[in-house]
Amino acid sequence: MDDYLDINKKNWDSRVPLHLEGYRIQEFFDDEKYISDVVRFDLPRLPKLTNLEGIHIQSHIGTDTVSLIRLGARMTALDFSEPALIAAKELATKLGLDLDTVHCDVYSAKEQIAKKFDFVFTGIGALCWLPDINKWAEIVSYLLKPGGFVFFREGHPMLWSIGDSKPNGDLAIELDYFEGEAYLSAEETTYAGEGKLDHPEIISFNHGLAEVFNALWANGFDIELFEEHRSVPWNPLADEFIKLEGIDEWELVYKPNRLAASYTVLARKRYP
């Protein structure tokens, strides 16, 4: 657990070259209106971004970040993976878009950033790499102007608690739902792109929904939107999930109403 940052950084660095092949980046160049599936999924819920200044924390290779720029925002990208940030900057530059970058761990953002933003965006598959959700909400609050908002989608804590299915196909709750334990896993491949990772080990953390909401309330936020979804933008359980038509989203093959696989939140920072 103490070395989770080092283990996870190596893992995420090693995913970058594979994701650069697997994230369908060419689509941004083929269509000047193209935005990533992750951002497109949440378009009906996302406030108007024109002329707002945002920071995308855990921005990865920048596909969601440049999508937010295409929706009218000025953006800063923050990530602890230097290769990911270099790729994000290169993507933005090649598309003719301005992008500031900050290279640091989420929990060090206060030491690196003095500026305040209109919104914080966090795309799916981000909170699960952070051990302490309250500390995350405190950083997000620090980064925002009063009246600013945080918008995020995350894998549902119920989904993260499911382990390997039983031989008869039943879903098996095996892992913690509540925050606390670090979960070490190792997978040689990644969810986008071909090839093997140089650093397959990764450490993740679950955060129950009440833990997320209480962290937001305690750090000065009001919840304006909360939605649970049946789908998630990767295949989390191989044969149990099926890809939806027309978008990179997967849901349970059999009775998808059984499981909330992801959720979206919009929370606004209160005025003092």
Instruction: List C-alpha distances in Å: 108 to 29, 53, 81, 162.
Output: 34, 20, 14, 31
Nearest CB to ligand SAM, comparing residues 5 and 175:
5
Is 203 one of the binding residues for ligand SAM (CB under 6 A)? no
Stretch that binds ligand SAM, among 55-63, 141-149, 167-175, 195-203 (CB under 6 A): 55-63
Query: How far is it, in rounded angstroms, from Cα 116 to Cα 141?
Result: 9
Q: Is 64 in the site for ligand SAM (CB under 6 A)?
A: yes
Measured CA to CA, the distance from residue 178 to residue 18 in angstroms comes to 32
Binding piece for ligand SAM, criterion CB under 6 A, among 42-50, 56-64, 89-97, 254-262 = 56-64
Q: What b/e sequence results for 66-98 when a residue is b if at least 16 CB atoms lie within 10 Å of its CB, and e otherwise?
A: bbbbbbebbbbbbbbbebbbebbbebbeebebe
* Among the listed residues 28, 34, 58, 140, the single contact to ligand SAM using CB under 6 A: 58
- The answer to whether 63 contacts ligand SAM (rule: CB under 6 A) is yes
Q: Helix axis angle, 63-70 relative to 82-94, nearest 10°?
A: 40
Segment lying near ligand SAM (by CB under 6 A), choices 66-74, 79-87, 144-152, 258-266? 79-87
Nearest residue to ligand SAM, scored by beta-carbon proximity: 123
Q: Which residues contact 118 (CB under 8 A, 6 or more apart)?
A: 52, 53, 54, 144, 145, 148, 149
Convert 27-45 into a string of H (helix), E (strand) and C (coil).
HHHHCCCCCCHHHHHCCCC
- Binding segment for ligand SAM (CB under 6 A), chosen from 117-125, 171-179, 224-232, 256-264, is 117-125
Q: Which of residues 164-193 bind ligand SAM (CB under 6 A)?
A: none
Rule CB under 6 A: say whether 69 interacts with ligand SAM: no
Residue 8 interacts with ligand SAM (CB under 6 A): yes or no? yes
* Residue range at the interface with ligand SAM (CB under 6 A); choices 59-67, 181-189, 247-255, 256-264: 59-67
Tokens for 142?
């620090």
Contact residue for ligand SAM among 28, 41, 80, 149 (CB under 6 A) = 80
**Residue 180 is encoded by which pair of tokens?**
């606390």
Binding residues for ligand SAM (CB under 6 A) = 8, 12, 38, 58, 60, 63-64, 79-81, 84, 105-106, 123-126, 129-130
